[in-house]
């Protein structure tokens, strides 16, 4: 009984993490575009931009290879161990179907993810990130950063 509650809590934490990842990717691009027009300095942070690009890159590659996200697999495993019902397919497909009653074959999602990824790549050219800074070490060991 206690273990099923712990599995359910762990599954919910994975779900929150997954939604946070999705929101980071989607809202991140929206904020980059808006921030480019409004000249927000933080949207040009190279580390933010690199992590954002890598995040959508992982999604695109997974969709090309027909892979289910590891977070989806982990959540479903934990829900199964908790004795809950699980869904099949990808996280986004499940929630779009649940929230919007939208159904599509997997290739549609791969095309969508790829198009979104290309928009993220395009944002690197239209809202250029600042260059990465190299710290310079002085003779006394201070990095000067």
- At 40-85, the pLDDT tens digits run 999 999 999 999 999 999 999 999 998 888 998 898 899 889 888 7
pLDDT in tens, 87-145: 766 666 666 656 544 667 888 888 999 999 999 999 999 999 999 887 666 555 555 55
Identify the pLDDT of residue 104: 75
Identify the pLDDT of residue 42: 95
Burial (CB < 10 A; 0-12, 13-18, 19+), residue 140, is exposed
Q: Over 90: is that where the pLDDT of 16 sits?
A: no
Identify the pLDDT of residue 8: 86
Cα–Cα distance list, 20 to 17, 61, 71 (Å): 5, 19, 12
Identify the pLDDT of residue 120: 96
Q: What is the DSSP string of 103-136?
A: ---HHHHHHHHHHHHHHHHHHHHHSPPPPPPPP-
Token readout for 106 is 């997997």
**DSSP code of residue 4:** H
**pTM strictly above 0.85:** no
Identify the pLDDT of residue 100: 45
Q: Over 70: is that where the pLDDT of 36 sits?
A: yes
Q: Over 90: is that where the pLDDT of 11 sits?
A: no
């Amino acid at each position: 009984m206690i273990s099923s509650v712990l599995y359910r809590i762990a599954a919910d934490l994975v779900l929150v993490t997954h939604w946070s990842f999705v929101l980071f990717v989607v809202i991140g691009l929206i904020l980059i575009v808006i921030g480019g027009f409004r000249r927000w300095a933080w949207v040009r942070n190279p580390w933010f931009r690199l992590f954002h690009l890598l995040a959508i890159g992982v999604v695109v590659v997974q969709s090309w290879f027909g892979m289910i996200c590891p977070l989806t697999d982990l959540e479903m495993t934990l829900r199964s161990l908790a004795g809950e019902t699980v869904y099949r397919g990808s996280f986004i497909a499940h929630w779009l179907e649940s929230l919007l009653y939208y159904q599509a074959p997997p290739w549609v999602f791969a095309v969508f993810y790829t198009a979104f990824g290309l928009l993220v790549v395009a944002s690197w050219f239209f809202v250029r990130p600042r260059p990465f800074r190299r710290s310079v070490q002085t003779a006394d060991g201070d990095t000067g950063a």
